Amino acid sequence: MGRRFAELAFTPLVKEQQKQHGSRHLYERMERSNDPGDSLGPYERAFIEASDGFYMASVTETGWPYVQYRGGLKGFLHVLDDRTLGFADLRGNKQYISVGNLQHEDRVALFFMDYAHQTRLKVLGRAKVHEGDAEARKLIDQLRMPEEKTPAERAMLIHVEGFDWNCPQHITPRYTEEELDKALEPMRLRIEKLEGENKRLRALTESK
């Protein structure tokens, strides 16, 4: 954890809870870290670029938290630089809750889950919506995935303020179809080889 995430997340009430439960001294050391933790490093960039989805939390005008899942082809969330993420926002159910929330409050929290490797990454940032002008069209062209068929309505850029890696505890491993295909490929090839061998032996037996 870098200093910046702690500065944003550890409010006075949070610190008081840490004191009550005996963890404050651990996080005080992190807050004095030489790593500012306000820009994405190579590992964070690679992790995000390999992701096919994330959860984005925003806040309504009435103060309610709202979480929405954003998914797509791997790489749909672009790391534009070490402080900026961007994606083409595709047409969905037309509720526009997140988009409306961002007009009121630009702060967001992103939550990335890699179930297969039991890894999660939290990112705090500020989001800006680009829609309906030449700049928006340029960004959409830059950010949309060529294979994507769903129309993109806007572009979203997220300025990273801080991030933190969570421990893997309690993450249940789950696998996508692509991940299972890759993991089972050696077994599939082995079965094909054995089936071929059985066919050859059967043919030899029948010819006698």
d(CA 23, CA 20): 8
- Within this chain, do residues 185 and 169 fall inside the same structural domain, yes or no? no
Q: What is the mean pLDDT of the chain?
A: 92
The model's pTM is 0.84
Average confidence (pLDDT) over 123-143: 96
Mean pLDDT of 39-43: 94
Same domain for 74 and 2 = no
Is residue 101's pLDDT more than 70?
yes
What domain count does the chain have?
A: 3
Residue span of the structural domain in which 21 resides:
1-35
Residue 113 shares a structural domain with residue 183: no
Higher pLDDT pick, 115 / 208: 115
pLDDT-based confidence at residue 207 (cuts at 50, 70, 90): confident
Give yes or no: residues 51 and 6 share one domain: no
Helix 24-31 to helix 12-20 angle (10° resolution) is 140
**Per-residue pLDDT averaged across 91-110, rounded?**
95
Kindly state whether residues 42 and 140 are assigned to the same domain: yes
Q: Both 14 and 76 in a single domain?
A: no
3-state helix, strand and coil shares in percent for the chain, rounded to the nearest 5: 40, 30, 30
Are residues 46 and 121 part of one domain?
yes
Residues 167, 182: one domain? Answer: no
DSSP readout, 112-159?
Answer: EEETTTTEEEEEEEEEEEE-SSHHHHHHHHHHS-TT--SPEEEEEEEE
pLDDT at 122 over 80: yes
Same domain for 23 and 93?
Answer: no
> Is 208's pLDDT higher than 70?
no
Q: At 39, is the pLDDT very low, low, confident or very high (cuts 50, 70, 90)?
A: very high
Clarify whether residues 61 and 21 are in a common domain: no
Q: What is the dihedral of CA 156, 161, 167, 173, to 10 degrees?
A: 10
Claim to verify: residue 31 and residue 60 sit in the same structural domain: no
Task: Give yes or no: residues 95 and 56 share one domain.
Answer: yes
pLDDT at 202: 85
The answer, yes or no, to whether residue 60 has pLDDT greater than 70, is: yes
- Checking if the pLDDT of 85 tops 70, the result is yes
